[in-house]
Amino acid sequence: MRRAERTDTGADELAQLQRTLGVELDPDLLLLALTHRSFAYENGGIPTNERLEFLGDSILGQAVTVRLFTDHPELDEGELAKRRASLVSSAALAEVARTIGIGRFIRLGRGETMTGGADKPSILADTVEAIIGAVFLSRGGEVATEFVLSLVAPLMDDPARFGAAMDPKTSLQEIAARRGSAAPAYSVSESGPDHNKHFVATVVVGDLVEASGEGSSKKQAEMAAALRAWTLLSDR
């Protein structure tokens, strides 16, 4: 897979991204939403997208919760919680970001660019949340809610994909069996201090596909890798 290698984003690209998103935003807020801390650090400590990410996370959770509650009166609290967790997970948001092509617009530092930061699930997911925050500040709560629901609609409307987002390792195992392949094999590496571990998982499904994912735990990284592999296989 070709990695996006982008360290800055110009006015033309911001306009292109806005057209893709389907909503008009304050250009300065959109640029801020695309500014990863690695870029900010290398450019004199300018503001990052982390505050917008915090805001967007709250708006995302509320919009998804209300929609699930309204559309599924037959589901109990436990099932609603599971579905919400799958829809707002880093793996699911990273899938949304890849579909839109957000990665190539993110402002990354040189180190993150060299290591494929534009396709890292955590960076993609955080950027989606930051953009949601920017939509809220630019257009208000109603438009932000509509925007969130448009992003997650493919997951909500596709039972197979929704199920994969809820339990990607089982879904990947099932699709591997249907393709007559060996069971998925996982390998995990870790880095960072004990209080801030970072895990990267790679899953290999026979000779069909190889995919990677990351997270703050081994389980999270394996789930991200599994969802990525399932998506690649499902799209073939």
Q: Residues annotated as binding site for Mg(2+)?
A: 53, 126, 129
Do 131 and 56 form a contact (C-beta atoms < 8 A)? yes
Residue type, 66: V
Query: Is there a catalytic annotation at residue 174?
Result: no
DSSP letter assigned to residue 8? -
From the number of C-beta atoms within 10 Å of its C-beta (0-12, 13-18, 19+), residue 13 rates as: middle
Annotation: binding site: 53, 126, 129
Do 17 and 31 form a contact (C-beta atoms < 8 A)? no
Please name the residue that has the structure tokens 């399932």: 230
DSSP letter assigned to residue 26? -
Q: How many whole angstroms separate alpha carbon 227 and alpha carbon 218?
A: 14
From the number of C-beta atoms within 10 Å of its C-beta (0-12, 13-18, 19+), residue 196 rates as: exposed
CA nearest 134: which of 202, 232, 47, 223? 47
Out of 95, 112, 119, 129, pick the active-site residue. Answer: 129
Out of 57, 95, 112, 119, pick the active-site residue. Answer: 57
Query: Is there a catalytic annotation at residue 57?
Result: yes
Hey, which residues are catalytic here?
57, 129
